[in-house]
Amino acid sequence: MKWILLIASLATHNATARMRVWRAVKAAGAAVLRDGVYLLPYSPEHQQLLDDIARDVQLNQGTAQVLVTETGVDHLESPTLCPDFIPLFERTVDYQNLLTELTQLQQQLSQQTLAESLKQLRKLRKNFSSITAIDFFPSDQQMKTQDALQALEKKLNRQLSPDEPEGNTGEIAQLSIADFQHRIWATRKRPWVDRLASAWLIRRFIDSSARFIWLDTPADCPDDALGFDFDGARFTHLNNLVSFEVLLASFALEQPELKRLAAIIHYLDAGGFQPQEASGLEQILWGLRDSITDDDQLLIAAISIFDALFSAFSNKE
């Protein structure tokens, strides 16, 4: 397989540039072969990164070369053919440390607020994403840590949203917006991210005259209401999609801005990859939910937040 090396040398008095190089190669997950010699599996992205670092070194009166070499055969699936290099990229200790933090968080759940627990869990999820980004030769440890994260995310979401849908598999029917006008839509009371976002989506893109009712339990859903985000509802979790995503698919809503929103809602409701806007939106919605006890007023406030986020995404397109 192919490897790429950066060989760099800077004067010892140029501490700022030396630190900049070190931080860049560390963030990229490079192995250190010796002082000033850094190694990565070859990829065009790694080539560009090391070329940029070398250029920076040279601009600071240092010397730098980027070299591509090949050992064994060019197959990541055959790591045993490169026994000297691959162990340098071992991430087991990083995953074990993360698992220890997850265990500690689970033990502390009864001693802190749900909001604080979620905040800590989001931080651990972000740390996990950072590790996997530089885990070039994944082992079972990565999957074990992923499973532990998802289990704790599910547990916390259950505490936050009782009667959270389990999710099923099946085909998502294609529906006409014209057939869903002036309807009553029902979901569980004290709505959180997926329910608030779904209600916003319904009001803004599906049924502008929608009337929402908030259920004590899913069993209270009236026969003439369209249920969403609970087991047995017309629109709920399906095929690993959250309710917001199922609504998008059902009504063929494919605007890029909605897809960006969907990624945020999915993360906040079900975990996974963390979009950069997720943490800010979660904090805002926490503040609204804590300060507004009436669900109709909570939805009105949340709609303005989602309107602003959609507008921001539109301006970036």
String of b and e for 54-78 (b: at least 16 CB within 10 Å)? bebbeebebebebeeeeebeeeeee
CB half-sphere exposure, 13, CA atoms < 13 A: 1
The crossing angle, in degrees rounded to 10, of helices 193-201 and 243-250 is 20
> Could you list the residue range(s) of the whole structural domain that residue 22 is in?
2-88
Residues 137 and 238 reside in one and the same domain: no
Query: Residue 170 domain-assigned?
Result: no
Query: Residue 254 domain-assigned?
Result: yes
Question: How many domains does the chain divide into?
Answer: 3
Of 160, 185, 206, which one is at a domain's C-terminal end? 160
Helix (H) or strand (E) holding 50: helix 44-59
pTM summary value: 0.66
Q: d(Cα 105, Cα 108) in Å, to the nearest integer?
A: 5
CATH number assigned to the domain comprising residue 38: 3.30.70.240
Of 109, 134, 160, which one is at a domain's C-terminal end? 160
Contact 243, 194 (CB under 8 A): yes
Query: Residue 168 domain-assigned?
Result: no
Closest CA to 121 of 1, 16, 270: 270
Helix (H) or strand (E) holding 13: none
DSSP state, residue 228 = B
Of 126, 160, 194, which one is at a domain's C-terminal end? 160
For residue 157, the model assigns a pLDDT of 76
* Phi, psi of 47, deg, nearest 5: -60, -45
Strands 211-215 and 184-188: parallel
pLDDT tens by residue, the chain, 317 residues:
899 999 999 988 889 999 999 999 999 999 999 999 999 999 999 999 999 999 999 999 999 999 998 875 444 444 444 447 889 999 999 999 999 999 999 888 776 677 788 888 888 988 998 999 999 999 999 999 989 988 888 788 777 777 778 878 899 999 999 999 999 999 999 999 999 999 999 999 999 999 999 999 999 999 999 999 999 999 999 999 999 999 999 999 999 999 999 999 998 888 878 888 988 898 899 899 989 999 999 999 999 999 999 999 997 65
The two tokens of residue 242 are: 């959250």
Q: d(Cα 17, Cα 21) in Å, to the nearest integer?
A: 6
Residues 63 and 123 reside in one and the same domain: no
Residues 265 and 199 reside in one and the same domain: yes
- What order of strands is seen across the sheet that includes strand 184-188? 211-215, 184-188, 225-227
Residues 74 and 133 reside in one and the same domain: no
Residues 235 and 273 reside in one and the same domain: yes
Q: d(Cα 293, Cα 110) in Å, to the nearest integer?
A: 24
